[in-house]
Amino acid sequence: MSFLELYLLLLKGTATAFAGLASLPVIQDALVTHRHVLTAEQLNEAVVITRSTPGPVGLWVVSAGYFAAGVSGAIAGWLAMITPALLVIPTVHFAGRRMKHPRVRAILETVVIASAGLLLAAAIPLGREALTDPVTIAIGVAGLVLLLTTKIEVAWIILGAAIVAMGADTVGLLYYLT
């Protein structure tokens, strides 16, 4: 896969949600389902690795590019991650003056609803790939409950889930439950 082709595929995804997780279904469809450049597990790893580190939300696109094509893929991912932001800045400046207009508000509300739908579409395949046994399902449910009912930072929930998973693996719990 050429640098330009990878960049355009990643850009197609990042342009839908500015490299947020809502762009995941588009990139998964392009790189995992159709082109088979990445496995679902590699894409899941790219998301998990970058979500547990500080920095922009869209860094997972850089990791996906790296998994697909090494350093040049990471550069393509980085360019795809920043291009929408560079294009949106003048647009937001223009629209900012017209935020009270009903059509502009309707467009923004539509974008928010579409992004929520894309996030849900991204969560389902990731969940299928990651939730493979009773322990991971329990960790996932506990994490979701904590996320929805408390104000604990996501990074702490991820860290706690990792510690519980490593502890379960250490004591051999996964071996007995699978």
Query: What is the tens place of the pLDDT at every residue in 46-94?
Result: 888 877 776 777 788 899 999 999 999 999 999 998 888 788 778 777 7
Q: How many domains does the chain have?
A: 2
Q: Exposed, middle or buried: residue 70 (CB in 10 Å: 0-12, 13-18, 19+)?
A: exposed
Cα–chain-centroid distance for residue 61? 8
Instruction: Tell whether 111 and 64 lie within a shared domain.
Output: yes
| Residue range of the domain that includes 16 | 3-128
Instruction: Tell whether 118 and 169 lie within a shared domain.
Output: no
Instruction: Tell whether 135 and 124 lie within a shared domain.
Output: no
> What is the C-alpha to C-alpha distance for residues 133 and 111, in angstroms, rounded to an integer?
36
Output the pLDDT for position 111. Answer: 78
Q: What is the mean pLDDT of residues 126-133?
A: 82
Domain boundary among 128, 145, 169: 128
Output the pLDDT for position 178. Answer: 56
Confidence (pTM):
0.58
Instruction: Tell whether 10 and 77 lie within a shared domain.
Output: yes
Instruction: Tell whether 69 and 155 lie within a shared domain.
Output: no
Other residues' Cβ atoms within 10 Å of the Cβ of residue 53 = 10
Instruction: Tell whether 37 and 84 lie within a shared domain.
Output: yes
2 φ/ψ sector (left φ>0, alpha ψ -120 to 50, else beta): beta
Instruction: Tell whether 46 and 119 lie within a shared domain.
Output: yes
Instruction: Tell whether 158 and 114 lie within a shared domain.
Output: no
Instruction: Tell whether 82 and 61 lie within a shared domain.
Output: yes
Instruction: Tell whether 105 and 135 lie within a shared domain.
Output: no
Q: What is the mean pLDDT of residues 139-157?
A: 92
Is the pLDDT higher at 148 or at 59?
148
Instruction: Tell whether 118 and 165 lie within a shared domain.
Output: no
Instruction: Tell whether 52 and 124 lie within a shared domain.
Output: yes
